[in-house]
Structures are given as structure tokens and as C-alpha cells.
Amino acid sequence: NAGVTQTPKFQVLKTGQSMTLQCAQDMNHNSMYWYRQDPGMGLRLIYYSASEGTTDKGEVPNGYNVSRLNKREFSLRLESAAPSQTSVYFCASIQNSNQPQHFGDGTRLSIL
Amino acid sequence: GEDVEQSLFLSVREGDSSVINCTYTDSSSTYLYWYKQEPGAGLQLLTYIFSNMDMKQDQRLTVLLNKKDKHLSLRIADTQTGDSAIYFCAESRGGGYNKLIFGAGTRLAVHP
């Protein structure tokens, strides 16, 4: 099983460019999440989707938008990238609230 | 992740036991998790414990939970070089979508 797949794995952007990070899961999970990981910090929740058709803000949503395209896919968009958004982005999913989250391998994003 | 605290670094000799500690703040957390992150990879779920348990053992891993002190620990017996990684503690805030609050991570270095 592929689990949670993120694309791309690496990306370099210039300030002001836009970018969409893709995430897909093949486990028929209901909820999906986007986190960012910065050095010396744990993961911080950007946005989540409790179920298909719904999205909600997490701790650090500013500068991001999301789309829950269908049950499998949850994308994260940076409309106008800023150097402060240089980070490693992780997507995760769960079947229901009593289950642990499954993580993708991350997208390493650098903004110059 | 400021509500979940971990020491940032631990160094142990191969074959010894490692104990990674974590304190959390929300007494209503339902689940507490330990994730492992190897360099350049995503987060791998190691184990988790339900809040009404005191201890959980899984092969070389032992999780101890002290709800009164809001203290969680992960003991790795017979630590191997392959255990070198960053270990994240996370608490589940529930709310129906399993929001996770992560600590900053403990980097475990295993030396011969």
C-alpha cells in the first residue's frame, strides 16, 4: 500500500510565486491534515479536513489555502510565497478520531 | 507545540536503555503518541497509549503515563544505532477531528 503520498518531494520557489502541494491517500480515510515543520519546533497544523467537503483552519493558516478535492486528495496552495514559508510540509490522514494519524514523507519547500 | 515539552537531545551508548520524556498540559487528552522521524523522512508512528492506561509495552518499547503529573515517557530497551532519530511526543486534543499537538522533538544519538 502506498499510504499517504505527497508531491513534489522538493521545490524551490521565488518570493511571490504560487505553488500547490499535492497529497493523496489510498486508505479510504475520512480526515486529512496539513502540517509544517520548522527547525527546533514540532509540527504545527495549518489546515485540516474532517471529512470530504469540509475544511477548517488550524494553528497557522495565514498565507495558505486548501482544497479537499475528493475523499482521497487534499491540496495545499501558497498563492504568493514568502521566505517565512520555507519549511517541510507534511500531509496526514486518519480513518476516525480514535485512530493515529498516518503521515506522508513530506515536501521540502524553499522560498528565496 | 509550546504546550508539549520535550528535552531536545539525548545521547546513549549502544545496548543501553534510552528514556525520552515528555510533559503535556491538557488533562482531557484522550491519546498520547510517540512518533519517530529519521533524516529526510516523514513521521512513523511508534506507539500510542490511551489516557486511562498507565503503561503499554510493545517489544523493546515501554510507554509510561503519569496522568497526575501529565508526564509521558518512552523507554527503548537495548538501544541500537538504527534507533538514532528524532522522537516526537504528541497529545490528542480530540474534538472529533483528532487535533494533535506536537512537542519539538528529542534527537536521540546512539554511539558505540
pLDDT tens digits along A19-53: 999 999 999 999 999 999 998 778 999 999 988 99
Question: Which band of pLDDT confidence, cut at 50, 70 and 90, is reported for residue B100?
Answer: confident
Residue A33 in contact with residue A21, Cβ under 8 Å? no
How many Cβ contacts (< 8 angstroms) between chains A and B? 62
B43:A43 CB<8 A: yes
Q: Which residues contact B16 (CB under 8 A, 6 or more apart)?
A: B79
Question: Which band of pLDDT confidence, cut at 50, 70 and 90, is reported for residue B27?
Answer: confident
Per residue in B41-65, pLDDT (tens digit) is 889 999 999 888 899 999 999 999 9
Closest by alpha carbon to A62, among A84, A37, A33? A84
Q: Which of A51, A93, A97 to mutate to test the interface with B (most CBs of B within 10 A)?
A: A97
Q: Which residues contact A109 (CB under 8 A, 6 or more apart)?
A: A10, A11, A12, A13, A19, A21, A85, A86, A87, A88, A89
A43:B100 CB<8 A: yes
Looking up cell 486508505, which residue turns up? A27
B1:A104 CB<8 A: no
Closest by alpha carbon to A45, among B33, B36, B38, B1? B1
DSSP A83: G
